[in-house]
Amino acid sequence: MSRVVNRHHEAAYAGLGTFCKAPLALTPADLEGVDVAILGAPFDEGVSFRPGARFGPRAIRQACNFLWSPPARPHMHLGVDPFEVLDVVDYGDAECPPADLAGAHREVKARLTELLVAGVFPVVLGGDHSLAYPDVTAVVERYGKGNVGLIQFDTHTDTAPVEWGGPLSHASPMRRLVEEGHIRGEHFLQIGLHGYFPDPEDFDWARAAGMRWYSRYEIDRRGMTEVMDEVIATATAELPEHVFVSFDIDVFDDLYAPGTGSLESGGLTPREVFPALNRIFAELPVVGMDLVEVAPIYDRSDLTALLAHRVVLESLCGLALRRSGRRLPGRDST
Amino acid sequence: MSRVVNRHHEAAYAGLGTFCKAPLALTPADLEGVDVAILGAPFDEGVSFRPGARFGPRAIRQACNFLWSPPARPHMHLGVDPFEVLDVVDYGDAECPPADLAGAHREVKARLTELLVAGVFPVVLGGDHSLAYPDVTAVVERYGKGNVGLIQFDTHTDTAPVEWGGPLSHASPMRRLVEEGHIRGEHFLQIGLHGYFPDPEDFDWARAAGMRWYSRYEIDRRGMTEVMDEVIATATAELPEHVFVSFDIDVFDDLYAPGTGSLESGGLTPREVFPALNRIFAELPVVGMDLVEVAPIYDRSDLTALLAHRVVLESLCGLALRRSGRRLPGRDST
Amino acid sequence: MSRVVNRHHEAAYAGLGTFCKAPLALTPADLEGVDVAILGAPFDEGVSFRPGARFGPRAIRQACNFLWSPPARPHMHLGVDPFEVLDVVDYGDAECPPADLAGAHREVKARLTELLVAGVFPVVLGGDHSLAYPDVTAVVERYGKGNVGLIQFDTHTDTAPVEWGGPLSHASPMRRLVEEGHIRGEHFLQIGLHGYFPDPEDFDWARAAGMRWYSRYEIDRRGMTEVMDEVIATATAELPEHVFVSFDIDVFDDLYAPGTGSLESGGLTPREVFPALNRIFAELPVVGMDLVEVAPIYDRSDLTALLAHRVVLESLCGLALRRSGRRLPGRDST
Amino acid sequence: MSRVVNRHHEAAYAGLGTFCKAPLALTPADLEGVDVAILGAPFDEGVSFRPGARFGPRAIRQACNFLWSPPARPHMHLGVDPFEVLDVVDYGDAECPPADLAGAHREVKARLTELLVAGVFPVVLGGDHSLAYPDVTAVVERYGKGNVGLIQFDTHTDTAPVEWGGPLSHASPMRRLVEEGHIRGEHFLQIGLHGYFPDPEDFDWARAAGMRWYSRYEIDRRGMTEVMDEVIATATAELPEHVFVSFDIDVFDDLYAPGTGSLESGGLTPREVFPALNRIFAELPVVGMDLVEVAPIYDRSDLTALLAHRVVLESLCGLALRRSGRRLPGRDST
Amino acid sequence: MSRVVNRHHEAAYAGLGTFCKAPLALTPADLEGVDVAILGAPFDEGVSFRPGARFGPRAIRQACNFLWSPPARPHMHLGVDPFEVLDVVDYGDAECPPADLAGAHREVKARLTELLVAGVFPVVLGGDHSLAYPDVTAVVERYGKGNVGLIQFDTHTDTAPVEWGGPLSHASPMRRLVEEGHIRGEHFLQIGLHGYFPDPEDFDWARAAGMRWYSRYEIDRRGMTEVMDEVIATATAELPEHVFVSFDIDVFDDLYAPGTGSLESGGLTPREVFPALNRIFAELPVVGMDLVEVAPIYDRSDLTALLAHRVVLESLCGLALRRSGRRLPGRDST
Amino acid sequence: MSRVVNRHHEAAYAGLGTFCKAPLALTPADLEGVDVAILGAPFDEGVSFRPGARFGPRAIRQACNFLWSPPARPHMHLGVDPFEVLDVVDYGDAECPPADLAGAHREVKARLTELLVAGVFPVVLGGDHSLAYPDVTAVVERYGKGNVGLIQFDTHTDTAPVEWGGPLSHASPMRRLVEEGHIRGEHFLQIGLHGYFPDPEDFDWARAAGMRWYSRYEIDRRGMTEVMDEVIATATAELPEHVFVSFDIDVFDDLYAPGTGSLESGGLTPREVFPALNRIFAELPVVGMDLVEVAPIYDRSDLTALLAHRVVLESLCGLALRRSGRRLPGRDST
């Protein structure tokens, strides 16, 4: 089967519900020449509070509010249309069986591995954050243990010990990745942490593991621009040559992203996060990303889904600049 | 391009959002052997009160809550799975341009005509009820003026004179169909009318045109079973050999169908309407249907969209019985 | 000041938000020749559970979904347009001070008395059901103690003793009306009661007072038509020559009327209640009505407000038949 | 610890959120003399479509809208206050670990067994319908294999084979109960089935197992009263001496119960179901019940939670009549 | 007819739903001495994505949460009550026919022209942004081509070419105004642009036309205060002697204004926009404004409608300072 | 009765709905050794616009999203777990009778006095802001007139004269406290004021009374950090030795806190308010607090309730630092 393309004059609310009306590709044979693929991971059996992220992939795709097919999507400030530079397809959803978290992880990993084998940059749309375990291990299997660094946008560290709730829940994936040796603790950079955690023992463990974080408290004190200068410098100097970005939508203040499962007042804003994403994808060797915990049943007017959609677009704009050998506009330009 | 088929183990909330996970067909070349096609008509520029039906086709498709792809859909009572008997595809959406009602009508008619030419039974998902004008005229062009009867489920007659609001609005399509000679007045059977209309002049016009209706008041008095006996007998005896069914979701009580634009308290219930649809499609020569006025932004928990989804399924179950030479279960069976 | 009239071509969502786009009259001087006046009573400080009925009058008025100003509103089945027969105005809202229940009652009674003095049939839109105390006492002052009967549609009897919550709450108005001698117990007919009350002592009190009721359990057993035959016969034979109708929206099943404060599963349906109202207003000497407990903040898609709007219209249709010397259609007509 | 009792003058929205403001008992030592205990089972990791039933127990408890503590709750028609006759406590929630379905089942069964050992009638509030497996097996362990019959109110049979989704999901519990010998197929009576299932093979299996059902189609044809006459007669004659009632809230039409995970248009109404529950609990030897699939995140104005609350109350009213040696009112009484 | 004034002690939720409880004036004869008039333009047939702005005028008016009639409305910081300084009336709604965009534009222009002829400062409440075409052309007809400058707050430029969607949609009004010579390109100042547009050709066109904008990216870099210094200086030096302000509510971040049709994450905040409006209206020769794209059906708790209400108030406070010869408080005052 | 403790492994959505799963204490005898008690004040009969704050206490308690019982709650930045340092209990709700504002005030004051007599730090969860009258007078009775200062976070001053709406409404409590001599005007510090008030006479009164405020306009100009430096310095130098904090949730921008009754666009953010609370409670002699006007029926996804929950936690973290003799982290730490 070849790729499926929408009818041309599709309104935003019409047509195939693929990401940004990208062509649909369902088999590895359709990945020839593809740069980027969107893959849905619709499961939420790993959540500890409010479920619903299984509906995230569909909601993020359909939050697209652009006319025509394909629509023009030039970033006003960056001056790049990621779909002009990159050949992007929608790879559909992994076949996650309901009520079977291990099965969901297995299916996501299989489908993601097809993308990695084909040399495609994956954007995995969760699903709950336990997704990080199968998707990061797939990336590590592709690039080798110790060869992948991880930049995590999140309110929480997701490094709980695995005793309670079982080893697969969304509270623990980062701990498992470190403890099992997939990612080294010092190859973690976490951005946006705040709130009522971690337990003293967890905190000790994280420090001992060499993990680093830029909390929202630090961002309040120093400003996001300065923090990102340090993130980029540190990542360039100390992370391995492959970087994966794991983005939990709850890093945003919950009023920007009410449609998620684990709320915490006082998070980041789009005007802080979007330029950070532009920089990370333009200036660092990112090889894939996931975007998790969009639970549309708690959303309003599709705000959270739209925000997630734009998180992907802002990331792809950075990637498009990098792939086309261009740089971010200087800070003085309009 | 050949048809596009979902991955096999799709959860209800995953995969291509086609109707009942049916294969997707986007061009006439894909219609070989097809019995039934779902066509979306996403526009609502013709509404006079609450807009939003442009989001109806997507919502109805995605209200499907069946697992697997294709799922089993045997009707417990009728003992038939319409997708076993009928080759059904999803033909996508007509390319209705926003803010251009005439353009939307033109596109729907063009796409629908492709289906009719290919001998496919069309199920058109609106969209507002002005849809009846382009879709019925397309059907009449296929079968000939005077050769098509119309059974309309609706709270309103949609026979307003066209002076105000313009000739294209959802208040007038049935009047235009009669006045322009597409359907003869005596070939109309309307079911479920109630509320505060029509104006005396409209009422006089309708009576003069020979239109017939079975109001909700009559259904209250006689019961739906008896009314349907008469509908079937009358249609069999007096309607032409081709029947089109135009179903406005607002025929249901507004609490069953809050997601619509023109509410009126006191409508019909699913337990009255579903058996009526089973009979009409099993016992009459229906050649197509539309289903209109689902406006999901006023809906709750997708109740209206799900109800619309089931309206189509109940109709297709009747059609499947007819196509397979079977009859409805007798009234004494369970 | 003379009456205020809307612009002519008003859409349903435009223009002065008066009831059914009726002219606005704000002073007694504007009541010359008026048959019926709508009066808002926006307060809810008397509720014992979920407040919000203070927003009821505005919501009921704006639930109107008719085009033009004035719109045509012929009742399809009854064949009467109440606004053709009756001169109806909107008398605005009583100036109920927030956080002052006694003050609200005082203001409503003053405004209502202006209508009664002018010989106008009042339709009072609450507000919580404590409204029945000021509005019924105003009516009784007009017609004399013992000269007014009361037909109450309600899930609850509202006859709690006044010890707790204070004498003004919405739990007690009917008890106060009887105990203070405004209405005699045997002049009460209550329709639709069901649920978990009254306390044995209250039940004893009500029986001793001679109150009568037609519970939903009785309606289930006998059917609404037969029950209404008895209501009409009893009211004709045994109620005084003036009848007031007090209609609590919670008599409807809570899914028909979610926008109210005191829910109880298992209430009546519009198809049971509307014909009952037609009969009561057409066949009995009704001199006024109130409609209470519409709390739109719990509503969905304005369903409850619309239902309340139609309750008034169905009542006015009955009144219009009576005032024009016409009768209800026989049961055999369509 | 002794039982915990609310302050006396609690409004509906205040105080300990126990079921009907019943005293709280958290340990077996607090169960002395108790007749009935409410037990929460807050998990939903077994659902195949829309999760959220983990929030069901809290929502059902708090849907209570009665004043005072304890409130009076006399059933108007039955003339009984279940809390007068029965000593009812709230036993809190089982400690269901999130993201661990097997763990949730284990905890529920342990807590339920404490109640059964103490001779207490359990009312288990789910949670998803996979709950039926642990709770029915606990009851069967108490009374012996083959000694328990099951009456199930449900839209679905929940008898899917266990191959996909794992053996624990909410699609299969009834099949497991039969296949493992806990309940014999002919000891099942299912009420309210309708919609698009079961697969032919499942249907064959159910028939071979001797399962019986009263579909909504049969209820439409015969009426609920007649169907219940047969249910009571059959249960009396053919079920074992202990009966468990498993009540899936989705047996109600989805507009009565939007707050659930698996919608199907066209279900039963409270006015059909409540008298059925009165009869079953008054006339059959019921030894426990569960109530499942209330998912409040899809609810509106707490309608579904309130309906679930009343399902328990209507059941307890029947039980109270039976325990006090009284009978249901004859059909001719008001 | 003279003006209509509310009863005095009106609660926020009571009385005539005029803007800020201003008197109602429906004919030109009522405009004697009036300074400012609010005019509703309830239509949305020009939207390309989510309709609903036809309900905007009513929602904005009723978002008013001030007690009494007229209420006091002193701006705490500016020390001015606009209704003390200015004689403000509510001029009702233009009679926009549903389903007829050209008709709606015609009616708005006619009503607005009545205000301009009477020398009244108009505040036009949309409605979708296609409103800018009729309202700006009306203003230009009053003051002469080339004599009006336009300051636009918006996320989008609304300068799409008119080929698709027809010439009247909300995507194109600014392009038409320039291309038809009503406003010169260099007389445009746009504030708040950001997101994924314009197409390269549109961008070229806008630059060629001399249009200027202050994007959100520039505001991020320079701060709103500095940007506004430049806006005021530029407008003073280079715009004509009459300035019209066109305010699209979507210039706010979508979480501040979810109730709109075209969302884009990352917009401005009220604390940025309100002082900007104060300055523009106090320091520039503004002759009218519109406020568009409030679509309350997507709103929550009336947040967007309230925000729109305050946008008008903040503007009128600036205007009141200007009309009374006063200045904004210095930056050092509290 | 001794305190009631939850089962250990409680999910966030399970178990006793006490604040942060704290033990429940219902009588003074249970207060031995207690440091802090949460007391609910569920009433809203004092509101002038949107009621619903009676549901606030329950919603705030249940917004807790921490696992286990008791959960760990270490503040990531402050490095303190308030429940480790402080013995906190939930004291349930005052028995506020509905529809009786004076009765509600009386009951709250009685229950609060029990806490003060026992030496417990009270956190009173409203309820509407008229709560400040009974709770502050109770505190003043404990510490003596003139010995208590008040820091108020609020959008409004709540100092309206008491003529209209009655002396008990939420518009006037601060005025009554001053006029009756409980708190001296110069012992008031108000933070966050903005919008359209006060009337000139009120403003004169407040200035004459010596009241001081830090408006949102001042915060915009100087920044929250600098303002708080002044607040702390002023409070230390000029307030009495006991400080009460009265926190109205509407001080937040309404999009952070939609679930409240009196919205005003342009309020403060959590990232401004949380550090302010940390400082006030760590550095000033606070003896109690209230938190008012959370009205969950207007909320979305429990955002407002969660925010209120965190306001209490941030306050208790400051208090815990103070009680344990520790200081806030320096501004340079992460």
Tokens 């201003």 -> residue: E22
Percent of chain F with pLDDT over 70: 97
CB-based burial, E211-231: b 16+ in 10 Å, e otherwise: bbbbbbbbbbebebeebbeeb
The residue extents of the domains of chain A are 19-323
> Beta strands D286-292 and E36-41: pairing type?
unpaired
Indicate the residue type of B118: A
Closest CA to D132 of D96, D90, D64, D178: D178
Residues E301, F263: C-beta atoms closer than 8 Å: yes
If you measure CA to CA, which chain C residue comes closest to B268?
C271
Residues D306, C220: C-beta atoms closer than 8 Å: no
Indicate the residue type of D15: G
Looking at the complex, report in whole angstroms how far the Cα of residue C137 sits from the nearest Cα belonging to chain E.
Answer: 23
Q: Is the pLDDT of residue F136 over 90?
A: yes
For residues C163-167, give the mean pLDDT. 65
Two structure tokens written together for C206:
């009500």
Question: Which of E221, E259, E262 has the CB atom closest to A65's CB atom?
Answer: E262
Question: Which of E164, E196, E264 has the CB atom closest to A73's CB atom?
Answer: E196
Find chains touching chain A: ≥3 CB pairs under 8 Å.
B, D, E, F
For residues B24-41, give the mean pLDDT. 95
Two structure tokens written together for C204:
């004893």
Segment D301-329, tens digit of pLDDT: 899 999 999 999 999 999 999 999 999 99
Residues F334, A220: C-beta atoms closer than 8 Å: no
Residues of A in contact with E298 (CB under 8 A): 301
> Greater confidence, F248 or E165?
F248
Choosing among A4, A8, A13, A64, which should be mutated to test the B contact, i.e. which has the most B CBs within 10 A?
A13
Indicate the residue type of A59: A
Q: Is the pLDDT of residue D334 over 50?
A: no
For residues D247-276, give the mean pLDDT. 95
Model confidence band, residue B331 (pLDDT cutoffs 50, 70, 90): low
Provide the number of CB pairs (under 8 Å) joining chain A to chain E.
80
Looking at the complex, report in whole angstroms how far the Cα of residue F320 sits from the nearest Cα belonging to chain A.
Answer: 14
Instruction: List residues in chain C touching F: CB distance below 8 A.
Output: 44-52, 54, 97-101, 103, 130, 164-166, 168-170, 297-298
- What DSSP element (H or E) covers D200? helix D200-209
Two structure tokens written together for A296:
């549309």
Looking at the complex, report in whole angstroms how far the Cα of residue E50 sits from the nearest Cα belonging to chain A.
Answer: 9
The pLDDT value given to residue D165: 61
If you measure CA to CA, which chain C residue comes closest to E5?
C26
Residues A198, F74: C-beta atoms closer than 8 Å: yes
Number of other residues whose CB lies within 10 A of the CB of residue E8: 10
CA distances in angstroms from B62 to B18, B23, D72, F157, F255, listed in the order given = 7, 14, 45, 50, 30
Residues of B in contact with D258 (CB under 8 A): 300-301, 303
Helix, coil or strand: residue D289? strand
Residues of A in contact with F301 (CB under 8 A): 254, 258-259, 263, 298-300
Of B320-329, C260-269, F11-20, the range with the lowest mean pLDDT is F11-20
Residues A51, D51: C-beta atoms closer than 8 Å: yes
Question: Which of F169, F297, F298 has the CB atom closest to C99's CB atom?
Answer: F169
Provide the number of CB pairs (under 8 Å) joining chain E to chain F.
80
Please determine, for the modelled complex, whether the ipTM score is greater than 0.85.
yes
Two structure tokens written together for A267:
């998070």
Residues D98, A45: C-beta atoms closer than 8 Å: no
The pLDDT value given to residue B243: 98
The pLDDT value given to residue C167: 74
Question: Which of F47, F50, F100 has the CB atom closest to C166's CB atom?
Answer: F100
Q: Which strands make up the sheet holding C148-153, listed edge to edge?
A: C88-93, C36-41, C121-126, C286-292, C242-248, C148-153, C188-191, C212-214
- What DSSP element (H or E) covers F214? strand F212-214
Q: How far apart are CA D43 and CA D96, in angstroms?
A: 6
Please, what is the average pLDDT of chain C? Answer: 94
Model confidence band, residue D52 (pLDDT cutoffs 50, 70, 90): very high
Instruction: List residues in chain E touching B: CB distance below 8 A.
Output: 44-52, 54, 97-101, 103, 130, 164-166, 168-170, 297-298
For residues C181-208, give the mean pLDDT. 95
Q: How far apart are CA D193 and CA D183, in angstroms?
A: 19
Provide the number of CB pairs (under 8 Å) joining chain A to chain F.
80
Residues C262, D65: C-beta atoms closer than 8 Å: yes
Closest CA to B243 of B282, B190, B284, B209: B284
DSSP C97-128: PTT-HHHHHHHHHHHHHHHHHTTPEEEEEESS
Domain at F19-323: CATH architecture? 3-Layer(aba) Sandwich (3.40)
Do B and A touch, 3+ Cβ pairs within 8 Å? The answer is: yes
Segment F86-97, tens digit of pLDDT: 999 999 999 999
Q: Is the pLDDT of residue C331 over 90?
A: no
Residues D271, C298: C-beta atoms closer than 8 Å: no
Looking at the complex, report in whole angstroms how far the Cα of residue E314 sits from the nearest Cα belonging to chain F.
Answer: 10
Residues C300, B258: C-beta atoms closer than 8 Å: yes
> Beta strands E286-292 and F36-41: pairing type?
unpaired
If you measure CA to CA, which chain E residue comes closest to A73?
E196
Q: Which strands make up the sheet holding D242-248, listed edge to edge?
A: D88-93, D36-41, D121-126, D286-292, D242-248, D148-153, D188-191, D212-214
Burial of C123 (0-12, 13-18, 19+ CB in 10 A): buried
Residues B215, C334: C-beta atoms closer than 8 Å: yes
Segment B287-308, tens digit of pLDDT: 999 999 999 999 988 999 999 9
The pLDDT value given to residue D5: 76
Model confidence band, residue C334 (pLDDT cutoffs 50, 70, 90): very low
Find chains touching chain D: ≥3 CB pairs under 8 Å.
A, B, C, F
DSSP state of A243: E
Residues C54, E15: C-beta atoms closer than 8 Å: no
CA quadruple C82, C86, C92, C95: dihedral positive or negative? Answer: negative
Q: Is the pLDDT of residue F206 over 60?
A: yes
Looking at the complex, report in whole angstroms how far the Cα of residue C316 sits from the nearest Cα belonging to chain B.
Answer: 12
In which region does residue B230 sit, left (phi positive, over 0), alpha (psi from -120 to 50) or beta (all else)?
alpha
What are the residue ranges in chain A where pLDDT is below 70? 1-3, 163-166, 331-334
If you measure CA to CA, which chain C residue comes closest to B297?
C301
Two structure tokens written together for C172:
């007690």
Q: How far apart are CA E126 and CA E51, in angstroms?
A: 12
Instruction: List residues in chain C touching B: CB distance below 8 A.
Output: 9, 11-13, 65-68, 72-77, 255-256, 270-271, 274-275, 300-303, 306-307, 310, 313, 331-332, 334
Residues of A in contact with B62 (CB under 8 A): 58
pLDDT tens-place values along chain E, 334 residues long: 457 777 878 899 998 789 999 999 989 999 999 999 999 999 999 999 999 999 999 999 999 999 888 888 999 999 999 999 999 999 999 999 999 999 999 999 999 999 999 999 999 999 999 999 999 999 999 999 999 999 999 999 999 887 666 678 999 999 999 999 999 999 999 999 999 999 899 999 999 999 999 999 999 999 999 999 999 999 999 999 999 999 999 999 988 899 999 999 999 999 999 999 999 999 999 999 999 999 999 998 899 999 999 999 999 999 999 999 999 997 544 4
Q: Is the pLDDT of residue F163 over 80?
A: no
Q: Is the pLDDT of residue C295 over 60?
A: yes
Residues of C in contact with D302 (CB under 8 A): 263
Two structure tokens written together for E184:
């010169």
Residues of F in contact with A197 (CB under 8 A): 72, 74, 76
Residues of E in contact with C2 (CB under 8 A): 1
CA distances in angstroms from F133 to E108, E281, F168, F201, listed in the order given = 51, 41, 8, 22
Burial of F237 (0-12, 13-18, 19+ CB in 10 A): exposed
Burial of D252 (0-12, 13-18, 19+ CB in 10 A): buried
The pLDDT value given to residue A333: 41
For residues D234-256, give the mean pLDDT. 96
Q: How far apart are CA A103 and CA D74, in angstroms?
A: 50
Segment D166-217, tens digit of pLDDT: 678 999 999 999 999 999 999 999 999 999 999 889 999 999 999 999 999 9
Do F and B touch, 3+ Cβ pairs within 8 Å? The answer is: no
Residues of C in contact with F97 (CB under 8 A): 164-166
